[in-house]
Amino acid sequence: MSSFPEKFYYSEDHEWAKIEGDIVTIGITHHAVEQLGDITYVGLPQEEDELEKGEVFGSIESVKAQSDLFSPVSGKVVKINEELEDTPEVINEDPYEKGWIVQVEVSGEDAISGLMDVEAYKKHVADEE
């Protein structure tokens, strides 16, 4: 059963965004983890990389599939979760806390435009199934 934190925003590609001031923490949702299965590798961007909303910023591999990661926001990578380089399975265990992927510094008021709140994301997931 998927879980959906209330105060996060979600993309159609199953990434989540947690907004704290001008820093947005990004990861993949519990629903995405359930679809992928056991995660074996995460391809991360570099700190200082500029991300464009909707563009590929990394990849994730599991025993079932390889998938691109799409940025839900535009901005500069200020921190990557280096723990994922050695232990990518952390995402399976805790996708919303320890399993975050990157932190991005955003500028502008439209950082979350086009993202879904938790209720809209629940409906999106239900519609896909």
At 16, which CATH number?
2.40.50.100
pTM of the model: 0.93
Asked if the structure places residue 1 within a domain, the reply is no
Nearest-CA neighbor of 124 among 47, 15, 49, 50? Answer: 15
Higher pLDDT, 6 or 129: 6
CA distance 111 to 115: 9
Asked if the structure places residue 68 within a domain, the reply is yes
> Which residue range(s) make up the domain with 47?
9-116
Overall number of domains in the chain: 1
Asked if the structure places residue 51 within a domain, the reply is yes
Contact 15, 27 (CB under 8 A): yes
Contact 120, 11 (CB under 8 A): no
75 pLDDT above the threshold of 90: yes
Asked if the structure places residue 27 within a domain, the reply is yes
Contact 31, 125 (CB under 8 A): yes
